[in-house]
Amino acid sequence: MSGENDDEMRHIIDAEVLQLRLRVSKLLSKRNALAPISRLPTELMTIIFIYARDFSKNKSMSTMALKLSWICRDWRHISLNASRLWAEIDFKFGRQAGVQEFLSRSRQALLSVALSCDSEVTDTILDSTHRICGFDLSFDAFEPHRSNHLNLHHIWMKDAPFLRSLTLHGTYLPEIPLAHLQHLQLRNCAFQWSSPQLCALTTLSIVDPATTTALVDLLSNLAGLPELTHLTLEAVLSGPPLPSGFPQANLPKLQDFRITNEGLPTLTTLIDHLSVSKGALSSSKFLMQMVGITLQTSLMLSAGVDLARVQRRP
């Protein structure tokens, strides 16, 4: 009999504790509502959350989105209703369940995705290719296995009408047109300068390619990229010097040019054969970096190159 009374008393006490906890929770919510940040409009809080994600020091911006949703009830409500907050999906080593949650919370927002092609989430991401605007894809080795080649071709064959930015690591650039591509970054990749992806680019970055390019071929192909505003080349050039009288490559919109790991004679020849417009020249800075040497140059519209400053780095 005593045992039954004890159980009943425990249930009564537990019910009272629950009521007290609910009361404390409501009081804390009212107290939090008095904080200045709680008075900001939801739209402004959403913008702040997105800035916090983008400027996070974490390796994965996806981690910051999750942390913001764990702070308090109000922040969770705001974050879960901010589809753009979940549209940056950096899960190179993520679990499939986590990626599915991000895809669900992002609703129909355009996606920026970073993942490894060997990741278990690849197929899940490919189901949303139709709303990807930025894609950062990494392979574990420079020479991918045949399965990776098949996966990559599968990616290109998917409908990607909003794809504007593409970053590839350790693979190859397929000869399949991506009509709206504007920004392309290639690291340790094989590619052809004749690739249809290059023709409309505004940003091109090539770092440690599978094969180097002769200077004459580089200039000939750059001449076919008139929309370029940003160009980065690292360990790209090789081969014989230019023949006498070789024409300049006209890049009328170029604003930023960075080149590293090239010899000084190659550098001076290259920039001597680049031509930019007067409008671009007024706002452009071109940084040429070598081991121990920094060359800050101004490209002259007709004369070629003016090495305005040559400095030894401390």
How many structural domains does the chain have?
1
Establish if 66 belongs to a structural domain: yes
CB 231, CB 256: distance < 8 Å:
yes
Q: Are strands 293-300 and 304-312 parallel, antiparallel or unpaired?
A: antiparallel
The whole-angstrom separation of Cα 233 and Cα 184 is 12
Q: For the segment 260-279, what is each residue's pLDDT rounded down to a tens digit?
A: 877 777 777 887 888 876 65
Residue with tokens 């023709």, as numbered in its chain:
199
CB 169, CB 191: distance < 8 Å:
no
Establish if 207 belongs to a structural domain: no
Establish if 93 belongs to a structural domain: no
Residue 156 pLDDT level (bands cut at 50, 70, 90): low
Its domain, for residue 69, covers 37-86
* Residue 219 φ/ψ, nearest 5 degrees: -65, -40
Give the rounded percent of residues in the chain with a pLDDT score beyond 90. 23
Establish if 47 belongs to a structural domain: yes
Q: For the segment 176-189, what is each residue's pLDDT rounded down to a tens digit?
A: 667 788 999 999 98
pLDDT of residue 308: 35
Q: For the segment 289-303, what is each residue's pLDDT rounded down to a tens digit?
A: 433 334 444 343 333
Establish if 174 belongs to a structural domain: no
Q: Is the pLDDT of residue 307 over 70?
A: no
* Of the ranges 196-200, 217-221, 284-288, the best mean pLDDT one: 217-221
**Which of these ranges, 84-98, 135-149, 205-219, 220-234, has the smallest mean pLDDT?**
135-149
pTM: 0.76
Bridge-partner residues for 260, per DSSP?
234, 289
The whole-angstrom separation of Cα 282 and Cα 298 is 9
* Residue 280 φ/ψ, nearest 5 degrees: -70, -35
> CA quadruple 197, 202, 207, 212: dihedral positive or negative?
positive
Helices (H) and strands (E) in the chain, counts: 10, 15
Establish if 81 belongs to a structural domain: yes
Q: Is the pLDDT of residue 28 over 60?
A: yes
